[in-house]
Structure 1
Amino acid sequence: QGLISDRATGAAELSTLTPMVQDKSKVSEAFAATTKLQVVIPDSGSEEMQRAVTQTAKNFKESYSQVADSIAHAYMSVGDPQKDLADTFWEYSPYFASSGTSSAQMSNFLSQTVKEGAFNFDKPGDFFKEVFGVKALNADDMADYFGARGSGKKDAARQAEAFTADINSGDKQRAQGAIAALLADMASQDRNELKQSLTNLGSATGEDNADSILKTYGVAFEKAPDMTGTTDRLVSQQQAADPMTEYRQSQADIQMQMQDIGGNIMQSAVPAMKEFNSLLTDNKAQIEGLGSGIATGISNIVSFYHEFSGVINKVFIGLAGVLALKGTASMVKGTKNLYGDVTSAGKWAWNKIPGTRKFGG
């Protein structure tokens, strides 16, 4: 699909991703998921996206493509206003997972809260961590909540013990039952009571989300829309809408082919380079005998190179190709044949530099 600009970039990204993937048979799936997300979310970095996808998949025990679809859905819904979408999944997915939700439910909660007015993705993520993670696991915090709801001190302590025991039980059904009871109690409260409860449970995070959290605090526990295939659809839509897609894909294909050709040329050039090195070694005394003339010539060449480096780089790449493609047959131990090869290729190279007097023949 032309998603990777060149083989070197792909290899570098793959090398950082592989250690993050526990099941090595899933590396290709993880690589495809993170690469596509970088296309969908242009400002995202490879390491940032790899960290988010692999950590979230591990926490939810979901596939990499499933997690990528959840992240892509949030981006499709509200964008990434503060550039924190990937890091929010990476940081807060453990709390959503331990509460019995899926990556799709997390995505739905985050995007709905931002849509209702939250400043970014991190704020609602932090709120969820405090209310359904940190505070829900602490009996004293929950006793304060039940006390504020009208229970006496002893009843509040008893309710808190029962609630946190269910949350900490490791039994998914018991934990979800406790959270459902908490949500039902919140649903029975008027606006002022609810705001006070959410602020108490979420401390500053309740205030950070302003009124948006009043509407979405329970969304994470609702059924999420089907997000399957979101990443692929967004990639296809983006490529279809970009008139340069076909050109970029062609460029990527050409670059891949040229890298293959370059590798083959380098391999075929090795014997020639060894022969050239041998010639230099055998004629070391004669070369050194040229003395200061060589030094002056080199100095002039260096100055000339600085001025025309862009053109010369291309020319010498071509020159190396010419010499390599001529093969090693003519590169025998004799300066005559070597001189002929370099001279003919050198004339070709010189004629490619703008503003030079051209060689004939």
Structure 2
Amino acid sequence: MPAGCCMRKPKMCGSLLTCEVNKLHENNDYLLEVKNLKKYFKVGANQILKAVDDVSFSIKEGETLGLVGESGCGKSTTGKTIARLYAPTGGKVIFEGKNAHKLTGQEAREFSKKVQMIFQDPYASLDPRMTVKDIIGEGIDIHNLYKGKEKLQRIYELLNLVGLNKEHADRYPHEFSGGQRQRIGIARALAVEPTFIVCDEPISALDASVQAQIVNLLISLQHKLRLTYLFIAHNLIMVKHLSDRVAVMYLGNIVELADSSELYDNPLHPYTKALISAIPIADPKLERSRQRLLVEGDVSNPINPPPGCLFKSRCKFAKSVCGQIKPPLKEISSNHFISCYLY
């Protein structure tokens, strides 16, 4: 029984799931708290796609939380809902103690200044008709941060901060490589002086060598500017390198959440184990000798999800209870949460 939940308020705790969600938010030092977040999309006449279904996690100031999982599992939808690009179907996004989706007027403007996004596609996310100077300066104008020469000087500073130079300010996006475009996207996000950035797969469209450069840049910027990240990615090696904690997502649900070193050294959920086993090893002998865990079976339909655990159709350890009730996300060791009846 989690301390601070059922033991102190036995009449107010409705379920084990409620207790475990409260456990995730016991610390008051969190900059961002996502509580039972849901985002559903209507598809067709009477069908509902449950892209994000009852997701909860928290992020401390200055921390990086990695969010990993297969394509279509709801990672990007989670990030966009946090940044208020989508309105949630249910649940709350609490930023600096306030419900982000209830903000209006000046508070909403302040939120849009403090919370920014770096998008996945460096080609589609930059307006081809605007110069780099205009792209970076747009947010500065909206929030009235700098004018005239001060604004231009600020743009030059941002370009230098991300590894470009002021000569790039008057060029257009098509004149840059993918890595350079992503640096421009990072400079645009930094232009309004945010404290929290949703990094929505910012390296997936880049070459491997450029990926490492962008990740190292993000780490450097975090230290210099005291930033907090939600880092969404497929590349598990980069996520391990960048993240303090990692959440594993499957079909709109978080199935495991732990400190980065703990998750990679001691994965517990069958899905997490399969993901970790797929990470390539540099030593060819070790790579050939190790046994990979293959995930077989059909993926459950997120439009008409069956009851119980959504991973059960692909899990060789599935029990009868797995097909009846969805397992709650509960803490099975210090700061290690898992949604699985095996534990």
TM-score by length of 1: 0.25
- Return the structure number with greater strand share: 2
- Return the structure number with greater helix share: 1
TM-score by length of 2: 0.26
Q: Find the structure with the greater CA-based Rg.
A: 1
